[in-house]
Amino acid sequence: MSHAGLPQRMPSRRGSRPAPRVDFTPQDIAAGPVPQGMGDLATRVRSLLDLQRGAPPTLPLGGALFDIVVTASGAKAYAAVSVMDEIQRSPGARPDARACGPVIEDPEHGRLIWLVPPGTRERWKPHRYATCLSSPYLLALPPLDRTEPPGPYWLRPCRSDRLVPPTPLADFLARFRPGPVPHEELLGTSLSTIS
């Protein structure tokens, strides 16, 4: 077996000049008129630019991502989270694994925000202990690595493999009764600024 090196072509310096510098500095995208059908995409692009600047992303509810269920926080709500951990735990997982789908705790407002599958709002029946929201509302997400206060944080982490299943969630909320229920119109004005 030969260990000789492969022939190499030496770059020519004749006539070459350095490539021009490219500036990838994020630019503001004006919130002006957006073509019909492109509003959701524009909102998502603005959110990604915010994330690049270090600001928390603000995502539109509904579409292909998620709807949310909002409840009061506290001992009764945490009991529902614990039961959701049990039913969402994978076979063979540790008994103490936090398996519930993503839940944001907003301690300042005393509420939990459960991320549920898109389309849940259309099927959600009026509930004494929870409010379900979708489009046209926006939700500001805390940084993915924020798992404790101060400020809103991930009580259960956001993972790509699960959301919170709405049917058992509704049942457990009726069982544990966390209250008081947040009012939908007040929620709509504050969800995009929770971070």
Amino acid at position 119, single letter: G
Output the pLDDT for position 90.
Answer: 81
Helix H or strand E encompassing 131: strand 131-133
pLDDT at 29: 47
For residue 14, give the amino acid letter: R
How many angstroms separate the most distant Cα atoms in the chain?
A: 79
42, 58 Cβ separation under 8 angstroms: no
Q: Mark the ranges of the chain whose per-residue pLDDT is less than 50.
A: 24, 26-27, 29, 195
Contact 156, 147 (CB under 8 A): no
Rounded CA separation 121/159 (Å): 21
Q: What is the pLDDT of residues 133-178, one digit of tens each?
A: 999 888 989 988 899 999 999 999 988 788 999 999 999 999 999 9
- C-alpha 115/C-alpha 101 separation (Å) is 7
pTM: 0.70
